[in-house]
């Protein structure tokens, strides 16, 4: 955390101001680069690999959209307000803070009021009497134009995918299953945002909605490609079974080939991010835990210093969304399945990924204190995810070494993410590069001026080799290709 803030990965928004609202963070230069590379990997290993289509929709959407989606009715948290000082609390958190007891998020309001009464709970700020509990909708409302049309900032990116589905399917001459993907910001007016990137009011999602014919969940053209993927599945939130996709299907851990295939492509993607897959699991959710629209649900979770962290919600949403939008808009959103010419309202399986949390998990799993080498701190990021691929360091700032280093830097900087550093001892400069996860450090020394070679030092092994300047680009390109 401290490293991430000090080294420009991320930091709180509006921090120079006293009225900076909680739950808003910004990516600094290192964070932007890491995030962009994470997104590029997601595009290559999920979107393009599966032949999905990607869209980019508006963040502000009309009221009707959220009437149809159920968010205006259902997307709320219980709150309680002090009648004396006006302080407002999220009820479940308040009760657990005051009594040590956990209560379910979906408890009806009258049961909440009974708990408050039984435990004689008072306002924790002024000891005043608490009012009745009520619901606080977590969408941000915005008013459009001088006539104040009611609209909302989307609480999830997927609604534009549902609303646009039919147009995309037709203009792009889609087949089923068809994945439609989107990356963008979503907004939730959390009552108690957590610190750092874990519970934000404004956050990045990468969502994929797979539209499918519900009668064909077991006929999938590319299934075999991923049938031997390793999946770690937990049905009770405690133990984990490690199986191949095929075994999981046969043993009944996975409901059908479609779900099995997309969980596998997701696992395969994360195995390339540097997250330690032994510390991950697909947790199958019970009936009480699933979102209101989901009939099958797995959470992809990663073990971190703050416990198990949900990175991706995988929900079988059936035709809940298309049916809802169809009803409210009075449009028939059915399409023709080209494989058998039947007219159907597709079902949807979704992979809803939190990007900020994924970045957090990657940073934590990459963090390494090297006790064998002066406790140096190393971020062991994959070369294709590292914010900076290569540092360029003149050994000393004289004898023409800076000038030569600048020339090498100029040649590399448009194709690769580079960092030029000429201040401080060479050892200190290596440490600085290791802390932001730079895989390679090029050192320019006296020999460089003689034979046009430099030393390239590897971050993890600390080994150095001499390489001709003319071969640097090829060397760096190759490092980006290996996964």
Window of 17-25, 229-237, 364-372, 438-446 that interacts with a copy of itself by CB under 8 A? 17-25
Which of 38, 94, 136, 320 contacts a copy of itself by CB under 8 A?
A: 136
Query: Please, what is the minimum distance in Å from the beta carbon of residue 432 to a copy of itself?
Result: 10
Q: Is 321 in the site for a copy of itself (CB under 8 A)?
A: no
Answer yes or no: are the C-beta atoms of 311 and 279 closer than 8 Å: no
Query: Please, what is the minimum distance in Å from the beta carbon of residue 208 to a copy of itself?
Result: 13
Which of 73, 83, 85, 86 contacts a copy of itself by CB under 8 A?
A: 86
Q: How far apart are CA 165 and CA 346, in angstroms?
A: 10
Interface positions, 337-366, toward a copy of itself (CB under 8 A): none
Whose structure tokens read 């399986």? 349
Render 351-382 in DSSP notation, one character per residue.
EEEEHHHHHHHHHHHHEEEETTTTTEEEE---
Q: Is 105 in the site for a copy of itself (CB under 8 A)?
A: no
Q: Which two tokens stand for residue 239?
A: 């133990």
215 vs 332, beta carbon nearer a copy of itself: 332
Other beta carbons less than 10 A from residue 339's beta carbon:
11
Query: Please, what is the minimum distance in Å from the beta carbon of residue 180 to a copy of itself?
Result: 8
Q: Is 392 in the site for a copy of itself (CB under 8 A)?
A: no
Answer yes or no: are the C-beta atoms of 359 and 42 closer than 8 Å: no
Radius of gyration of the chain (CA): 26
Which of 142, 277, 462, 467 contacts a copy of itself by CB under 8 A?
A: 142
45 vs 301, beta carbon nearer a copy of itself: 45
Q: Which two tokens stand for residue 83?
A: 């009648």
Q: How far apart are CA 243 and CA 227, in angstroms?
A: 11
Which one, of 310, 35, 325, lies nearest residue 159 by Cα?
325
Answer yes or no: are the C-beta atoms of 432 and 388 closer than 8 Å: no
DSSP 3-state of 274: coil
Interface positions, 51-80, toward a copy of itself (CB under 8 A): 51, 53-65, 79
Which of 72, 115, 168, 291 contacts a copy of itself by CB under 8 A?
A: 168
25 vs 316, beta carbon nearer a copy of itself: 25
Query: Please, what is the minimum distance in Å from the beta carbon of residue 362 to a copy of itself?
Result: 16
| Cα atoms in the 13 Å half-sphere on the side-chain side of 93 | 13
Interface positions, 213-272, toward a copy of itself (CB under 8 A): none
Query: Please, what is the minimum distance in Å from the beta carbon of residue 284 to a copy of itself?
Result: 30
Q: Is 202 in the site for a copy of itself (CB under 8 A)?
A: yes
- CA separation (Å) from 474 to 33, 107, 381, 404, 471? 22, 60, 20, 19, 6
Query: Please, what is the minimum distance in Å from the beta carbon of residue 136 to a copy of itself?
Result: 6
DSSP 3-state of 463: coil
Query: Please, what is the minimum distance in Å from the beta carbon of residue 331 to a copy of itself?
Result: 5
Q: Is 276 in the site for a copy of itself (CB under 8 A)?
A: no
Q: Is 205 in the site for a copy of itself (CB under 8 A)?
A: no
Other beta carbons less than 10 A from residue 60's beta carbon:
13
Which of 111, 117, 149, 224 contacts a copy of itself by CB under 8 A?
A: 149
Q: How far apart are CA 184 and CA 42, in angstroms?
A: 13
44 vs 122, beta carbon nearer a copy of itself: 44
Q: How far apart are CA 300 and CA 259, in angstroms?
A: 13
**Applying CB under 8 A, what is the total number of residues that bind a copy of itself?**
84
51 vs 471, beta carbon nearer a copy of itself: 51
Q: Is 175 in the site for a copy of itself (CB under 8 A)?
A: no
Interface positions, 402-421, toward a copy of itself (CB under 8 A): 413-415, 417
Residue 290 per-residue DSSP state: S
Q: Is 171 in the site for a copy of itself (CB under 8 A)?
A: yes
Other beta carbons less than 10 A from residue 221's beta carbon:
9
């Amino acid at each position: 955390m401290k490293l991430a803030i000090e080294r420009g990965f991320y930091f709180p928004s509006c921090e120079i101001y006293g009225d900076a609202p909680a739950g808003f963070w910004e990516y600094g230069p290192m964070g932007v680069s890491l995030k962009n590379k994470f997104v590029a990997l997601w595009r290559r290993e999920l979107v393009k690999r599966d032949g999905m289509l990607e869209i980019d929709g508006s963040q502000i959407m009309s009221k009707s959209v959220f009437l149809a989606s159920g968010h205006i009715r259902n997307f709320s948290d219980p709150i309680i307000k002090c009648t004396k000082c006006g302080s407002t609390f999220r009820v479940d958190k308040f009760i657990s803070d005051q009594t040590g007891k956990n209560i379910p998020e979906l408890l009806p309001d009258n049961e909440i009021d009974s708990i408050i009464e039984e435990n004689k709970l008072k306002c924790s700020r002024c000891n005043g009497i608490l009012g009745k509990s009520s619901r606080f909708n977590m969408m941000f409302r915005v008013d459009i134009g001088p006539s104040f049309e009611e609209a909302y900032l989307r609480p999830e990116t997927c609604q534009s995918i549902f609303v646009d589905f039919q147009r995309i399917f037709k203009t792009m001459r889609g087949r089923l299953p068809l994945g439609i993907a989107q990356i963008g910001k979503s907004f939730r007016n959390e009552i108690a945002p957590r610190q750092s990137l874990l519970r934000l009011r404004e956050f990045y999602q990468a969502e994929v909605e797979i539209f499918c014919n519900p009668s064909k969940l077991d006929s999938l053209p590319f299934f075999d490609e991923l049938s031997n993927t390793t999946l770690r599945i937990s049905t009770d939130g405690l133990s984990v079974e490690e199986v191949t996709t095929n075994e999981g299907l046969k043993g009944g851990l996975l409901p059908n080939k479609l779900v099995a295939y997309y969980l596998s492509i997701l696992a395969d993607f994360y195995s390339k991010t540097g997250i330690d897959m032994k510390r991950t699991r697909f947790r199958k959710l019970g009936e009480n835990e699933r979102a209101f629209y989901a009939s099958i649900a797995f959470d992809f979770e990663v073990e971190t210093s703050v416990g198990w962290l949900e990175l991706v919600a995988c929900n079988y949403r059936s035709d809940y969304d298309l049916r809802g939008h169809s009803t409210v808009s009075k449009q028939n959103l059915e399409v023709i399945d080209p494989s058998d010419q039947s007219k159907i309202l597709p079902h949807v399986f979704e992979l809803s990924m939190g990007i900020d949390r994924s970045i957090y998990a990657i940073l934590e799993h990459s963090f390494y204190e090297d006790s064998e080498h002066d406790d140096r701190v190393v971020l062991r990021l994959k070369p294709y995810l590292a914010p900076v691929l290569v540092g360029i360091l003149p050994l000393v700032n004289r004898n023409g070494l800076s000038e030569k280093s600048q020339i090498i830097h100029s040649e590399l900087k448009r194709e690769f993410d580079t960092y030029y550093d000429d201040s401080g001892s060479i050892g200190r400069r290596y440490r600085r590069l290791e802390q932001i996860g730079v895989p390679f450090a090029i050192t320019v020394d006296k020999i460089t001026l003689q034979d046009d070679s430099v030393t390239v030092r590897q971050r993890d092994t600390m080994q150095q080799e001499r390489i001709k300047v003319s071969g640097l680009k090829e060397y760096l390109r190759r490092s980006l290709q290996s996964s």
